[in-house]
């Protein structure tokens, strides 16, 4: 029996509910199911009850997760390289989190390739990311925007477009009878006949959680719909990285179940049921690398309202059909930080958003279901699980064939982060 290819992954914890964690899990499982790979994961970006490594069923020793603070440390990487002799390092999330890793490229890449699943939200072309990009052997991109960015900023780096995927066997439309049953069991009697809008995001600044509540209230008041429509927000209203959403509800005197919070972590099957009982899912983020929640919603046959930024714009339309309401940004603002000197925020207006709410609200339920059904077809065609799995297996196979590892290392040109940063 030939030796399995051993991959070290660094990302959000692959068993966490975050979009990055979910996609990491999908990639890992695709590789493991070939029987030719094993994986060691540094599971980061979450609080841990303990830091004991675990083996993931049913894969046993083939998939081990080591809980870490942040995303790990240089000393951890050095230790794992020495003791585990991994054949490739695979990383995912925003590049600003990986400068510490790429700065030790001269310790990693002579031994094994680095594969980066690129997450980036918006233009202008981030030329300041070029030292990061050229420190990888291969970059996979999550959206057409991120793909265009990598190909223009670092055209010499191998690049493959691999959009996020949804498991259509979990996120699928339920029957009308099942939806009625779930609405009756999940919603208060006074809410069952309302048109329900759903928001499933982290409560963070760029997600516009507070703006959403203010604008939703204005729409309710303007149309006298306080007892006919509802917004459910699946989030932490007290997230330290976001706004105090409970205080906003109190300030706006939203005391009649106009806006509700769902705060418990729920398994994918329960989340899919949630998408089925609501009438529309919303994402009006100022910047969004991809936006997994709206894709899950479409997979369940529920239409969406989105700001057409980042990966959201390729979800809401295929260029001919619309699977909800796409709001074209009417202004851009340049923001930045010490790590990200400049990036656009794409902004929509309250009037645009209220018009979108009107369109969905005043549709018949049959029209919403028809729009959602087309969205489901769009997901199955362009973001299906089988294609995603196949792409990742082929990509990693090709990386290992082209670049090799350790004694068989090939194609490394010796340029590393420290020389160009």
pLDDT tens by residue, 94-117: 898 999 999 999 999 999 999 999
* Residue 18, both tokens: 């975050």
pLDDT tier for residue 1 given thresholds of 50, 70 and 90: low
Give CA torsion, residues 263, 269, 271, 276, to 10 deg: -140
pLDDT tier for residue 421 given thresholds of 50, 70 and 90: very low
pLDDT for res 415: 54
Is residue 417 within 8 Å of 135, Cβ to Cβ?
yes
Is residue 323 within 8 Å of 180, Cβ to Cβ?
no
In this predicted model, what pLDDT tens digit does every residue of 172-184 receive, in sequence order? Answer: 999 999 999 999 9
In this predicted model, what pLDDT tens digit does every residue of 111-122 receive, in sequence order? Answer: 999 999 998 878
pLDDT tier for residue 414 given thresholds of 50, 70 and 90: low
Mean pLDDT of the chain: 93
In this predicted model, what pLDDT tens digit does every residue of 350-361 receive, in sequence order? Answer: 999 999 999 999
pLDDT for res 420: 40
Spatial neighbors of 18 by CB under 8 A, at least 6 apart, are 12, 45, 46, 202
Calculate the alpha carbon distances from 84 to 7, 42, 105, 256 in Å. 10, 13, 18, 57
Q: Which range has the worst mean pLDDT, 135-139, 339-343, 404-408?
A: 339-343
| pLDDT surpasses 60 at 349 | yes
pTM recorded for the entire structure: 0.90
Calculate the alpha carbon distances from 58 to 23, 33, 39, 44, 122 in Å. 19, 11, 13, 22, 38
Axis-axis angle for helices 19-32, 385-403 (nearest 10): 70
State the DSSP code for 150.
Answer: H
pLDDT for res 51: 83
Token pair 């049959």: residue: 366
Q: Burial letters for 287-298: b for 16+ Cβ neighbours within 10 Å, e otherwise?
A: bbbbbbbbbbbb
Peptide bond preceding 124: is omega within 30 degrees of 0, i.e. cis?
yes
d(CA 171, CA 177): 17
Token pair 């030939």: residue: 2
Q: In this structure, how many other beta carbons lie within 10 angstroms of the beta carbon of residue 21?
A: 21
From start to end of 216-371, where are the E strands? Answer: 229-234, 259-262, 280-283, 304-307, 324-327, 331-335, 343-347
State the DSSP code for 173.
Answer: P
pLDDT for res 48: 74
| pLDDT surpasses 60 at 252 | yes
Residues 311-322 have a mean pLDDT of: 94
Residues 128-155 have a mean pLDDT of: 95
pLDDT for res 5: 97
pLDDT tier for residue 336 given thresholds of 50, 70 and 90: confident
Domains located in the chain, CATH noted: 5-165+384-420 (3.40.50.2000), 176-382 (3.40.50.2000)
Axis-axis angle for helices 365-382, 292-299 (nearest 10): 110
Q: What angle do CA 259, 265, 269 make, to 5 degrees?
A: 100
d(CA 53, CA 21): 17
Token pair 């996609």: residue: 23
325: exposed, middle or buried (Cβ count in 10 Å: 0-12, 13-18, 19+): buried
> 169 — phi, psi (to 5°)?
-80, -20
State the DSSP code for 4.
Answer: P
| pLDDT surpasses 90 at 163 | yes
């Amino acid at each position: 029996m030939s030796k399995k290819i051993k991959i070290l992954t660094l990302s959000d914890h692959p068993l966490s509910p975050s979009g990055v964690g979910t996609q990491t899990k999908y990639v890992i499982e695709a590789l493991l199911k070939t029987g030719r790979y094993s994986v060691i994961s540094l599971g980061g970006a979450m609080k841990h009850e303990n830091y004991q490594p675990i083996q993931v069923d049913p894969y046993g020793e083939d998939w081990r997760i080591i809980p870490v603070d942040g995303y790990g440390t240089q000393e951890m990487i050095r230790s794992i390289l020495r003791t585990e002799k991994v054949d490739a390092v695979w990383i995912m999330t925003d590049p600003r989190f990986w400068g510490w890793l790429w700065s030790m490229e001269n310790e990693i890449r002579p031994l094994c390739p680095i594969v980066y699943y690129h997450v980036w939200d918006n233009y202008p072309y981030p030329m300041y990311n070029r030292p990061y990009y050229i420190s990888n052997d291969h970059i996979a991109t999550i959206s057409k925007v991120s793909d265009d960015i990598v190909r223009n900023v670092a055209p010499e780096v191998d690049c493959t477009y691999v959009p996020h995927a949804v498991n259509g066997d979990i996120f699928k439309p339920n029957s009308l009878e099942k939806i009625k049953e779930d609405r009756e069991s999940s919603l208060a009697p006074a809410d069952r006949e309302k048109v329900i809008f759903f928001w499933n995001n982290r409560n963070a600044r760029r997600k516009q959680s507070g703006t959403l509540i203010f604008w939703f209230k204005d729409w309710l008041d303007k149309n006298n719909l306080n007892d006919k429509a509802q917004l459910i927000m699946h989030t932490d209203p007290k997230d330290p990285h976001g706004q105090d959403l409970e205080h906003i509800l109190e300030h706006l005197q939203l005391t009649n179940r106009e806006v509700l919070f769902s705060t418990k972590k729920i398994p994918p099957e329960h989340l899919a049921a949630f998408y089925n009982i609501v009438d529309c899912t919303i994402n009006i983020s100022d910047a969004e690398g991809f936006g997994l929640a709206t894709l899950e919603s479409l997979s369940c046959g529920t239409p969406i309202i989105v700001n057409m930024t980042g990966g959201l714009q390729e979800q809401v339309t295929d260029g001919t059909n619309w699977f909800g309401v796409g709001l074209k940004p009417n202004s851009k603002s340049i923001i930045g930080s010490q790590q990200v000197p400049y990036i656009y925020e794409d902004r929509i207006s309250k009037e645009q958003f209220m018009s979108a709410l009107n369109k969905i609200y005043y549709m018949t339920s049959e029209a919403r279901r028809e729009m959602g059904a087309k969205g489901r077809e769009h997901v199955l065609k362009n973001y299906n699980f089988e294609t995603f799995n196949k792409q990742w297996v082929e990509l990693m196979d090709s990386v290992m064939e082209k670049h090799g590892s350790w004694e068989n290392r090939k194609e490394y040109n010796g340029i590393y982060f420290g020389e160009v940063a």
